Amino acid sequence: MKTLVCVLACMCVSSYSLPPDKMHAFHIIKTRSIDLNNAHGLVMETRLEKTVEPTGYRLELEPYLEDAVFKGHVSINVTWLENTDEVSLHCAHEIEITESEVKAYMPSDSKELLKIPIKKMSTDPKKPILTLRLEKTVPKSSVGFLNFSFKGNMQTSSTEAFFKTTYVTEESDRIVAATQFRPNNARRMFPCFDEPAYKTPFELSVVRPRSMVALSNTAVARTEDINGEPNAVWDHFERTPPMSTFTLGLVIADLKQLGESTLYKDDNGNNIELRVWGRPEYLQALEGVNEKLAQVFAEVANFWQVPLPLTKLDIVALPNYQGNKPADNWGLIVFKESDVSSRGLLQLAAELSYEWLGALATPAWWSDAHINKALVGYLAAEIAFKINNGLEMEGKWPMTVLYSLYYEFSKRYPHSRITGMKQETACTKIELLFRMFNYTIGGDTFKKGVWLLMEARKFKTFTGDDIWNALNAAAENFHKKPTYIDVKTVAKSWIEKDRLPLITVNRNYETNSAMVTQKVYLRERPHDVPDAAKMLWWVPLVVARSDNFDFTNTTPADWMKNQRELKLVNMPDNDHFIIVNPEEIAPFPVNYDKDNWNLISAYLQSENRTNIPELTRAKLLHDAWNLAYAGQLSFATAFNMTLFLKHEQHHLVWDPVFTMIDHVGRHICCGIYDKFHAYVRILLTPLYKELIKDVRENEENWHKNLRSASRRFLCRAGYAPCVREAQEQFAVWLNAPNPDEGNPISNQYLCPVFQWGTQKEWDFGLQRVINFPPSRKQSERTYLLKTLAGCPIDEIKIQKLLNITILEGNGNFTETDLFLIFSMLTGSSQGYTALFHFLNNNWDTLKEKFASKTNTWDNLITSATSEFKTQAGLELVSNLYVAHQGEFGSAEHIIEKSMRNIREEAKWSAENLPVIEKWLDNYLNNADDKDDQYIRKFQ
């Protein structure tokens, strides 16, 4: 049997097909990770019948680069799992099979290799499946070969499957050939069993031009000349470890290695050569990548503790590669050039992690791709933080993705019912679940769980359940969870819902206890979503308390076991607050009784506020404002939570504030508009003054971004120094001899001038749009038009723009421009109110003008009627509807929907705007800081 295995592994097939019609005689032509976006469709893909399984591939490939065609031969070692006279495998319709052959050793006589005649070979017209119907039944346990010669065309319109692309140098055009087989594109190059579970060794040989480099999963074992072809050679690569077809990789290009290889060895058994490749002209831009690769690889390898069974790993900066993600083949990772040269670590850490979780251990089916990507994403972020404290993320992970998740899952219809977005948010949620388990069972236990998974599933496949079960086993072994907690059960309670819970904590200060309840977190009104009352989660309740601060203890005080409410006992007295879910350990917001909120607010205003870590300070702000917006908390309490910001400098804490100013600002009506602006100015001025004291050329990105954001919001609120600076800069353009040649000032100055500046300045901007030369970048004109429409808050400017673009029909404005103007006007109450009055006052003219342009008409009705938030706004829209009922045409359902939405918003405004105004009045009357630097009226 040992001899038989050796024969099967080393057998060389000598039969070749004739060259494709377009091929020249010479090979050197003389004349010239699983993608998550595809995962949803792949889940439904028909699986192959399990009658045979591959045990090895011998693949020979002859690409003709200039013609973008190829021919090849593959010999697939197979074992029959059933008695059958049919064999099915994957082969794309565009691949032409020129020869086929089946041979087998029968169990009754394993010495003789028998040729099994093929009765019929057919391809499913709807699926890329090739079926061989044999003359006789092959018995179960037989071993043998499927031999195919084939030819096909390389992809030239995309960089997927086996593709060809070109790039230009000073000397000539250069050709690049490479593969990107994720998720299931190997079948587009050769017949194969193209499913993740079929993990087998590959022996690859490829013809390449002598002047080019060929790289694959393993090192080149030998290079062989080709008789009669002095400019081409065969490269024969070393046999790979068992792997899935989608991890097979190949690159043929004019590449040069960056510096020397790095030899990485460790006590875990890794002994691997790390190499970086790029085109010669780009190597200078890759300086430092070898060191970065060595550093990140060491951290990733140290985490996994299981050696990669590879002798080399190549990182390639491939010119003109356009893939959405790198081609993370085993031992050969292909990046866009800019991704390799960037200083970030996160993507590199993720791609290196895929070498273990993805290649060494592989998701069993595409339905497990999300959990694979989520675990890799979480580990990559942890590694990036370990190396440089998450510098490229500015320390914001996981807050940025978590806030997005809160926002998306609190909508009435998450993801807008878009499948691709649903896949991404599902993956993000699972990534945060891994973070939750890392905290609740402990980091060391979490690692041990992942190691258990890898040891059990290396060279095999795994499912999501395998991951959860491994974490559960580790937690049990090290007594890191209550016996009633099952990691898989907890995880599924989160994964199976497109929602998140809101946890509400009501303390009883007399009994030192707290009643904790859970319900669906809904921010977008109305809140009547289906099955909301039935949704429950397994929720870890980690509690921090001010009578014994310890933010390092992340063991849950208790778990909500899929239950509506739970009582916590032994809580502190009424002088001390508690914080549930500090550091956003799990993805859920938390509400408290008013007294606990007040205790937290008072503490944050004290000198001891930094005892609460910045991530938790940010959470408290974010939760308070969003809960108020959702109608779950008084806005007076939410605004009180911002009082400590006059002393706050950390960018993480400020990050959610700007979003909340924007969201709440959109709901502020004209009556309290000036008061809200005054609040914003008083809130932001101390921060901005501090930030402009320290402007350095090499300052951190977060410092620049925080200064830019605070300045932008101050300008929007009428901060006089900002407006004056913008007008001074704008004067340079205003006085330019040829103003249409280009904008000599930064875009940041446009909005303050158009919002608070003179009519003359705004008119000047409008003329620049009208006179915009076609030779300039149209994106500059688009930005200018956006600010002209979206920034003004006085109706005169807005009405003038609408008169010129619509009533006068100025030929310089297109229908696309109108859509842009309408969209920008919906950003402020002044904008959409002015648009409504324009529609109401010019109804007959507009109805006639857009009679044949239903898209424009529908867009106008939507923008002019859908954004009102108050009862007064509802009356305006309702009166318009009654006055012109039956005249809305295609937009009839639009205005009806607008009225339904405004009714909900009007309820919100009636409940909250008086509270906000009362708080603002009290705040402005008692503010220590003087608000004497603002634009009081339009100039």
Please tell me what DSSP assigns to residue 139.
P
Task: Annotate 314-346 with DSSP letters as a single string.
Answer: EEEEETT---SS-EEETTEEEEEHHHHHSS--H
- How far is residue 699's CA from residue 708's CA, in Å, rounded to a whole number? 13
CA angle 202, 206, 207 (to 5 degrees): 175
Q: Are strands 590-592 and 173-180 parallel, antiparallel or unpaired?
A: unpaired
134-138 CB contacts, 8 Å cutoff, 24+ apart: 134/85, 134/86, 134/87, 134/102, 135/85, 136/85, 137/83, 137/84, 137/85, 138/80, 138/83, 138/84, 138/85, 138/102, 138/104, 138/106
Find how far residue 690's CA is from the centre of its chain: 34
- How far is residue 421's CA from residue 897's CA, in Å, rounded to a whole number? 25
The tokens of 381 are what?
């972020």
- How far is residue 296's CA from residue 349's CA, in Å, rounded to a whole number? 6
- How far is residue 140's CA from residue 876's CA, in Å, rounded to a whole number? 78
119-124 CB contacts, 8 Å cutoff, 24+ apart: 121/97, 123/91, 123/93
Residue 351 a catalytic site member? yes
Rg of the Cα trace of the chain? 33
> Which element (helix H / strand E) includes 172?
none
- Tokens 């030819």 locate to 151
| 363 within 8 A of 196, measured Cβ to Cβ | yes
| 8 within 8 A of 56, measured Cβ to Cβ | yes
Question: Would you tell me how many other CB atoms lie within 10 Å of the CB of residue 910?
Answer: 11
- How far is residue 28's CA from residue 26's CA, in Å, rounded to a whole number? 5
Question: Would you tell me how many other CB atoms lie within 10 Å of the CB of residue 772?
Answer: 18
| 681 within 8 A of 717, measured Cβ to Cβ | yes
Nearest to 130 by CA among 161, 94, 183, 154: 94
3-state secondary structure 690-741: HHCCCCCCCCCHHHHHHHHHHHHHHHHCCEHHHHHHHHHHHHHHHCCCCHHH
- How far is residue 276's CA from residue 932's CA, in Å, rounded to a whole number? 58
The tokens of 554 are what?
């992340």
Write down the catalytic residue from 60, 351, 424, 614. 351
Q: Are strands 129-138 and 84-90 parallel, antiparallel or unpaired?
A: antiparallel
Nearest to 314 by CA among 287, 284, 344, 340: 340
- Tokens 């904590």 locate to 505
Cross-strand partners of 690: none
CA angle 731, 732, 734 (to 5 degrees): 55
The tokens of 541 are what?
């309740």
- One-letter amino acid for residue 7 of the chain: V
| 321 within 8 A of 335, measured Cβ to Cβ | yes
3-state secondary structure 439-487: HHCCHHHHHHHHHHHHHHHCCCEECHHHHHHHHHHHHHHCCCCCCCCCH
The tokens of 334 are what?
């292909």
C-alpha distances out from residue 394 to 391, 656, 705, Å: 5, 14, 10
Q: Active-site residue numbers?
A: 351
